[in-house]
A and B are shown apart, each in its own frame.
Chain A
């Protein structure tokens, strides 16, 4: 029987490689009866999905280059 601790490790691993069949079945079975681990999986996937959308968007929210950096870079380009 897999413990929750085992399942969290295997859930992460399954995001990086395909688990052997026996493991996969063990994890799926555990998720049917354990709402915490099921929730844990949903949250890891939400984080993955959010990060992917963030990287896919052209308009990443965030700060801009400082005026100093902008000026410095502009100068370095003008005098290569």
Chain B
């Protein structure tokens, strides 16, 4: 069976470069690391070009290679900076609750149900900032779970943590991220737009 016509690798950068870059930035949030991973992805693709079956589209194939590189990056980061005591402290936001465990000041009303939020570049900027403010272990666990959609067993292997610890980490990550988005986006917006 004849292979479908593929793009000349010389055109890859123009065709897929920005997409792969944004894909990586959403997960790693660091320009130079993202650029490196995109470059490594193209180089690996070029090396294995002969084995590209054409069963999937070229962009799917490239994203598949990139995904592995991103997971490897998370694995490396977890090895270099293993979980600290701080990552697992019982509650991320103790001031939110009184001594009997009730909200001191609960979550504020975010208004409506902004289903199109994901299209807003400014929201993405704030989400990225909030993720960057988490510790790397928290941010990476959240990214693997919610952005990559990996299951917890898989994430435990990548980050080298037990499942119980992962639940604690994800709880902390979600709580801090929610609070950060509330401050940086939802509350700010209602103030600015009368």
> Known contacts A40-B106, A63-B25; is A54 also within 8 Å of B101 by CB?
no
A63, B22: Cβ atoms closer than 8 Å: yes
Does B42 interact with chain A (Cβ within 8 Å)? yes
CB distance from B70 to the nearest CB of A (A): 12
Residues of A within 8 A of B12 (CB): 77
Scan residues 20-63 of chain B and give those whose CB is less than 8 A from a CB of chain A.
21-23, 25-26, 31, 35, 38-39, 42-43, 46-47
Name the B residues within 8 Å of A48 (CB-CB): 146
Q: What total of chain B residues lie within 8 Å of the partner, measured CB to CB?
A: 57
Docked-complex contact B102 and A4, CB < 8 angstroms: yes
Chain B residue at minimal CB-CB distance from A6: B101
* Contact between A73 and B17, CB atoms less than 8 A apart: yes
Report whether A74 and B97 are in contact in the complex, using a CB–CB cutoff of 8 Å: no
**In the complex, which residues 30-72 of chain A have their Cβ closer than 8 Å to any Cβ of chain B?**
35-37, 39-40, 43-44, 46-55, 57-58, 60-66, 69-70, 72
In this complex, how many residues of chain A approach chain B with their Cβ under 8 Å: the count is: 46
Contacts of B97 in A (CB 8 A): 3-5
User: In the bound complex, do residue B175 and residue A65 qualify as a contact, i.e. CB atoms below 8 Å apart?
Assistant: no
Q: In the complex the two chains form, is A39's CB within 8 Å of B106's CB?
A: yes
| B121 contact from A3, A44, A62, Cβ within 8 A | A62
User: Which 3 A/B pairs are nearest by Cβ-Cβ distance?
Assistant: A3-B101, A36-B106, A5-B101
**Measuring CB to CB, which residues of chain B are less than 8 angstroms from any residue of chain A?**
9-10, 12-13, 17-19, 21-23, 25-26, 31, 35, 38-39, 42-43, 46-47, 91, 97, 100-103, 106-107, 109-110, 113-115, 117-121, 123-124, 127, 145-149, 152, 166-167, 170-171, 174-175, 177-178, 181-182
